Structure 1
């Protein structure tokens, strides 16, 4: 027997025990927030790009470059 989705939801909600959260989820149709995930991905992408730019600036600074070069030179000189 085919039932419309609203009738099916009501019957499922009536069959469930008295758990308010499940009853509300079965009774109320869900709405989609398609734009929310897209906006969140855009913000996360911008944050990742900003972090990469800051990290690049730090790693290419003269003090960090000199420290890394000194570390590599010490590693090669002690290995020989």
Structure 2
């Protein structure tokens, strides 16, 4: 095997390993979890607000045909 061919194979292996994404690291998991918790908190605040709660009660009441 020539030196050139050996070097080409080594470069290909290094590129393949460098580009391989094997999942999130611990820091990425932490940031992802933090972002999901923040999004859940914002969604909770929006949905538990008076106007949204009243609208949801009205929709559920109409769907069930009862006063909620």
**Shorter-chain TM-score range:** 0.5 to 0.7
Q: CA RMSD in A?
A: 3.2
Which runs of structure 2 are paired with 1:1-80 in the superposition (5 Å)? 14=6, 23-26=10-13, 37-77=25-65
Following TM superposition, the consecutive aligned residue runs of length 4 or more in structure 1 with deviations greater than 2 angstroms are 25-28
Select the structure with the greater relative contact order (CA < 8 A; seq sep ≥ 6).
Answer: 1
Q: Count residues in correspondence.
A: 57
Instruction: Tell me how far apart the structure 2 counterparts of residues 27 and 75 of structure 1 sit (CA, whole Å).
Output: 60
Which ranges of structure 2 fall in alignment gaps of 5 or more residues? 19-23
Normalising to structure 1: TM-score of the pair? 0.55
